[in-house]
Amino acid sequence: MKINVDRSRCVGAGQCVLTAPALFDQGEEDGLVEVLEAEPDATQAAAARMAAQVCPSGTITLIH
């Protein structure tokens, strides 16, 4: 699984950071999403899926 983000869509509410803090952060300056771990392992896959699901702006996509 690979995490892809389209930062131009991000609305910065940080749902991904709350849901999967090991995978996502928000930029210090702009508050927009930053991927910490683009290739989550099996133990992190559920968190990645949840983050993609709760993101309000369709910023996060998962490639299998």
Partner 1 sequence: MTLSEPEATEFPVRLPGEPFPPRQYADFRKRPGLIRSTLPTGSPVWLVSRHEDVRTVLTDRRISSNPAREGFPNVAKTGGVPTQEQIPGWFVGIDPPEHGRFRKALIPEFSVRRIREWRPLIQETVDRCVDHLLSLGDSADLVAEFALPVPSLVISTMLGVPFVDREFFESRTKTLVNLKTTTEDERSAAVQELLRYIGRLIKVKQKRPGDDLISRLLESAVLTPEELTGVIMLLLIAGHETTANNIALGVVTLLSNPQWIGDDRAVDELLRYHSVADLVALRVAVEDVEIGGQLVRAGEGIIPLIAGANHDLDSFERPDEFDPGRAARHHVAFGYGVHQCLGQNLVRAEMEIVYQTLFRRVPTLAIDADVAALPFKYDGTLFGLHELPVRW
Per CB under 8 A, 56 contacts partner 1:
yes
CB 47 within 8 A of CB 22: yes
Q: Which is nearer to ligand SF4, 40 or 59 (CB)?
A: 59
Residue 11, C-beta contacts closer than 8 angstroms, at least 6 positions apart: 56, 57, 59
Q: Give the separation between CA 55 and CA 32, rounded to whole angstroms.
A: 12
Q: Which is nearer to partner 1, 2 or 21 (CB)?
A: 21
Q: Which is nearer to ligand SF4, 13 or 47 (CB)?
A: 13
Which parts of this chain interact with partner 1 (CB under 8 A)? 11-15, 17-19, 25-32, 50, 53-54, 56-58
